[in-house]
Chains A and B, each alone.
Chain A
């Protein structure tokens, strides 16, 4: 899997100069989904219902507006059956997230921040964003560590 991801990263990197290209694979989903592995392009992700969310984060100032898809919409769309997902980032950061988080809260797979596409040179291409300002219990390090940025792969367990 490590090799697959590396390949995916390479693919992203290859097209990084043209980050907006629709054919480029942004996210690979493996594990308990209908037809694993699933490779999703920006067009695929943008085809999901788009939602916006304004929230403060622990690493930026102000309250940026994020736009993207709901994580639960993505999992439903892929027919995922599992209790948790392991989110893996471009920089090898990994965090296990219970699926119940996506059911209880409107957790976003953000593609843009303040109207600009998230770049791999910042937190892109995908940043898992929790509605931190709307729920006090989310203002906690145990949730902060699930805000995986530079998300490239999800493994459904």
Chain B
């Protein structure tokens, strides 16, 4: 028995250096960044080796969201949201579609899988360099239609000033509430068929109620900014979204393909015998079974889209306002403008957005592991 307990101590001591490193470099550093974001980093003397930091509370955050000089951060944040949503939709949708195609076992499956997955192994800098050339306004993709007798496209992929779905930043609160109501209604409509009372009670009615309330009384909500400031979906980000989907759809394809292969042939045959068409099999059997895979893909992709830095840097350079992203803004604010405390605040905003997805995911996977052991 004594031998075993000594071994246990050895095991723990083996792990200890890693525990200390993670504790300091992950948790300690996050705490430190939170603290920095609440200081002024020495104000004018910010370049000193050890600046005299003064606690300023949430002032950096207030400035980011409502300060006159930080309009760019707000557009970056809006960009990041659209960017995440479209990347998720594109990469999950396309990846699932290709996985279904390859699940039909076409000839040359290995070759095909290699072709769809190779972008994943590349550096974002490599991808960005190549796509910048592909999306050059006077050449690349824009002149492809001329090969088929069509007109040349004139879209400015990475520098277009056009924006869709504009909203006034003053109305941020009602807009956010509308989004919540919209999501509730969509979830409600999707679950309506399966569990009608729950769908009505949990999603549809609250969603409609919330939407109606905001529509009727939204004007009473405080305006968070002193003047009109429009933000929307910048079309210039489309090129970056396309490149990211090109790079990451193979990844979701690999996830789904592994999942499809794991489904037993018996189940597939049973579904066929019950009269399910190919489409019906995927729609009602395979894809619902792979819900954990979909969740993993959403987590990984959302975290990638929130820290997107390299690709935008390589495609447009860090200074292109139309395709800005908080991750780039953090770099510019911190290392170019030397505003360390504001850079830290941007990083914390990014971190909180990512944590919204990751913490529930890790908690649920922890519970599963505990339940099993």
Does chain A bind chain B?
Answer: no
What is A's interface to B at a CB cutoff of 8 Å?
none
What is B's interface to A at a CB cutoff of 8 Å?
none
